[in-house]
Amino acid sequence: LREFGIGRHRMVDDTPSGGGAGMVLRADVLANAIDSVSPAGDNRPKLLMSPRGRPLTQEFVRELSQGPGAVIVCGRFEG
């Protein structure tokens, strides 16, 4: 991810906007990195997990498994 980082220090993460422990990966950096390795016409869903998003249920995962695959990223980390 570092090659897609922002600024002189190639930052790929930032503090959570709502506060709290840990860091979050920058969505713009992730999008650029994923797009760079995705073939043209790639129609796989790209999911960036968020505390405000809908839950990732077994039913939804089963739906995803019937398709061409998916890219799932959890951008928040601690430690």
* Joined tokens for residue 73: 């990223």
Check: CB of residue 7 under 8 Å from CB of residue 62.
Answer: no
Level-2 CATH architecture, domain 2-77:
3-Layer(aba) Sandwich (3.40)
Percent of the chain with pLDDT over 70: 95
- Per-residue pLDDT of 32-47, as tens digits, reads 998 898 888 888 898 8
Task: Tell me the domain boundaries of the chain.
Answer: 2-77
Q: What are the DSSP calls for 23-68, one per residue?
A: EEE-HHHHHHHHHHHSPTT----EEEE-TTS----HHHHHHHHTTT
Check: CB of residue 34 under 8 Å from CB of residue 2.
Answer: no
pLDDT higher at 70 or 19: 70
- Per-residue pLDDT of 10-22, as tens digits, reads 999 888 877 778 7
75 pLDDT above the threshold of 60: yes
Average pLDDT over residues 1-27: 87
79 pLDDT tier (thresholds 50, 70, 90): low
* Joined tokens for residue 32: 């650029």
